[in-house]
A and B are shown apart, each in its own frame.
Chain A
Amino acid sequence: MTILSLQQVTKKFGATPIIRGVDLDIQAGEKHAIIGPNGAGKSTLFHLISGRYSVTSGAIKLKGKPIHNRPPYQIARQGLARSFQVTNIFPHMNVFENVRCALLWSSGYRYSFWHLLGKATRLNDRTHAVLDQIGLSSRAHYPAAELAYAQQRALELGIAIAGGADVILLDEPVAGMSHSEAQSAVQLIRKVTEGKTLVMVEHDMNIVFDVADRISVLVYGQILATDTPLNIRNNPRVQEAYLGEETAGA
């Protein structure tokens, strides 16, 4: 079943086309990676899907419903969550509050000013469960800004997955991490996205080939190929356009 579908999506900034007609169908439950050289438009594509940018033309559908040109909060409410390439947390709030805020909408609290969160036992339990999952229980009362980088990345991921969204977009989740940090981050990503649809942009090819069921190669705003990791690796056009030197080196 197709859960996320992009149809002839284009995006121009002024007269400059960044995304030039992308068609992409993501199946429910699949782990999909988007790779491509710098400036190919991977992050832009994420911003279009998650509502940060409006599309110039084309359509994006989540579970059959059009979501393009909707504000981010409406898209989020329909079960699409994302993380950011540059850590994007709530710096002056503590770790616990960061995660609890990410849980509020999906727990049905909406804009309530008549519920006291101290008494919301189930919500607080769920928050602790997420903190356990991302390994930040011992840091629950630290201001988010004071966490180490890898912990901030874990929190970034925690905020994205806390709300129980079934489609999760991760933008370079292990960027800037050491090798061992990246390894445990991948374990974490596998764990928290189990049974969910994952779309991720990542530069580290080992991780991409390790995690993804299918890979799309984005070059100059167009999808060159969408296929299984093995077929992508062997695709001569992909090798020519992008993978060439990296696979040769590997």
Chain B
Amino acid sequence: MLKKLSIWVVFLAILLILPLLFDSIMGISILNQMAIAIVIALSYNMLLGQGGMLSFGHAVYFGLGGFMAVHALVMIEFETVTFSVTLIPMVGGLFGLVAAIFIGSFSTRKAGTVFAMISLGMGELIAASSLIFVDFFGGEAGVIGDRTFGPPFFGVDFAQDVEVYYLAAFWVFIATLFMYLFTQTPAGRMANAVRDNPERAEFIGYSARRVRFISFCAAGLFAGIAGGLFAMNFEFLTEENLNAATSGRVLLMAYIGGLGYFVGPIIGAVVLTLMNSLLSNYTELWMLYLGIMFVLTVMFLPRGFAGFIMLHQLAWHHGRLKTLALPYLVTGVPALLCAASLIGLIEMSHTEADIFHFLGLPLNPDQLVSWALPVLLTLGAGYATRSSLPQLRDAWHAANTEGKRAK
């Protein structure tokens, strides 16, 4: 109990300290995006990880919540309504919930392919509607709001991004806490049961459809809250925020982070936001690398980053984690070198400049000899990685079995 409480205190402390560490304009901007991503990724995991519902249209609830939140900002601006903009995420959340109640009422009838196809169809349908219902979606231009018009909240008018960050941090904390608590309730546990075996769940008294529906509505609520945070942060929404590409990115976050663990989507949200905002400064090809990372994760780390970390539980438990450090280094260094030179190769073939700096080395992409070094390095490092695998496997085996014997 105390241990669990301390995890939440640490979480809150991290949320509060981060903007002090990364206080540049860009730092705060990335933190805000991370906050939004964490909430949407966690809400997506309520569907896929906890409830076994593979959705290709989760951005719908995020986007609809966001649009509603921007409209609420506009209404505050024109004094149609008067309330603090600190409640804007809740406006988004409630609208996301309403949308989820409506769509979930028929889409949760079945899980599996049927659910996935309906989610895809609804995603396309809503995205297409954005060009039809121009008053609500603003057509191609989108809708714009201004978060600074509401009554000040203890003197804060949210003109600064960092003020938005603290509001976002508050909502991230609340949303994360409640999404975690949901997993501890009868509805949350039955969501796991229905995910594992919907048929048996019915024979212990639960309608699988109703159980899915409840998770679906909760996921819609929290996705809407994330949409409201997005509206507060960017004050601007377009069709792009609820289309299939956004839905796909949410799926990637949750999957890469690890569906089986509550913290998995948080890790995924942080990693993908960083890639999105930092990597995109360095290369136009960052989406390609994201795609490769996703494929590699699916193939080699089916339980995501969180699952990879948890793999070390046994070794850590028996104090043998440090025996793995050297073997990891022996495999990791050539693997990184191989990845780096491969990326260099890809970038060199993509570049239009006359001189390409390959690992600091100026090369001319137009000369055939310039390609020899990167190709050789890639192959060599790849071979070294491969040759080092047996020692890593042995070390892994030793770290996990010797620990058992010690017990």
Interface flag for B196 (CB, 8 Å)? yes
Q: Which of A50, A105, A117 contacts B205 (CB 8 A)?
A: A105
Assuming the contacts A91-B197, A104-B190, asked whether A112 and B185 have C-beta atoms less than 8 A apart, the reply is yes
B203 touches A109 (CB 8 A): no
CB distance from A161 to the nearest CB of B (A): 11
Binary contact track B186-223/A, C-beta < 8 Å → 1, others 0: 11111011011101111111110011001000100000
A118 touches B205 (CB 8 A): no
Binary contact track A49-72/B, C-beta < 8 Å → 1, others 0: 011100000000000000000011
Interface flag for A149 (CB, 8 Å)? no
Q: How many angstroms from the CA of A243 to the CA of B235 in the assembled complex?
A: 79
The range of chain B's interface size is: 20 to 34
B214 touches A113 (CB 8 A): yes
Assuming the contacts A113-B218, A115-B186, A116-B184, asked whether A90 and B197 have C-beta atoms less than 8 A apart, the reply is yes
Complex contacts, A89 vs chain B, CB 8 Å: 197, 200
Interface flag for A111 (CB, 8 Å)? yes
Q: How many angstroms from the CA of A117 to the CA of B187 in the assembled complex?
A: 10
Interface flag for A225 (CB, 8 Å)? no
Complex contacts, B202 vs chain A, CB 8 Å: 51, 71-73, 76
Complex contacts, B186 vs chain A, CB 8 Å: 104, 109-113, 115, 117
Complex contacts, B200 vs chain A, CB 8 Å: 84, 88-90, 159
Binary contact track A84-98/B, C-beta < 8 Å → 1, others 0: 100011111100010
A101 touches B204 (CB 8 A): yes
Q: Which of B187, B192, B207, B218 contacts A90 (CB 8 A)?
A: B192
Main secondary structure of the interface of A (DSSP, over half): loop
Interface flag for A163 (CB, 8 Å)? yes
Smallest Cβ-Cβ distance to B4: which chain A residue: A118
Q: Which of A52, A88, A106, A111 contacts B214 (CB 8 A)?
A: A111
Q: How many angstroms from the CA of A71 to the CA of B202 in the assembled complex?
A: 8
Binary contact track B4-25/A, C-beta < 8 Å → 1, others 0: 0000000000000000000000
A112 touches B206 (CB 8 A): no
Smallest Cβ-Cβ distance to B178: which chain A residue: A113
Interface flag for A188 (CB, 8 Å)? no
Interface flag for A153 (CB, 8 Å)? no
Smallest Cβ-Cβ distance to A78: which chain B residue: B205
Interface flag for B181 (CB, 8 Å)? yes
A115 touches B196 (CB 8 A): no
CB distance from A84 to the nearest CB of B (A): 8
A71 touches B207 (CB 8 A): yes
Could you list which residues of chain A lie within 8 angstroms of chain B, going by C-beta atoms? Answer: 50-52, 71-73, 76-77, 81-82, 84, 88-93, 97, 100-102, 104-106, 109-118, 159, 162-163
Closest CB pairs A-B (n = 8): A105-B205, A90-B196, A113-B187, A109-B186, A72-B202, A76-B205, A102-B204, A113-B185
A/B interface sample: 29 pairs, CB < 8 A: A72-B199, A73-B202, A81-B203, A82-B203, A90-B192, A91-B196, A92-B195, A93-B189, A93-B192, A93-B196, A97-B193, A100-B189, A101-B190, A101-B201, A101-B204, A104-B186, A104-B204, A104-B205, A105-B204, A105-B206, A111-B186, A112-B186, A113-B214, A115-B186, A116-B181, A117-B184, A117-B185, A117-B186, A118-B184
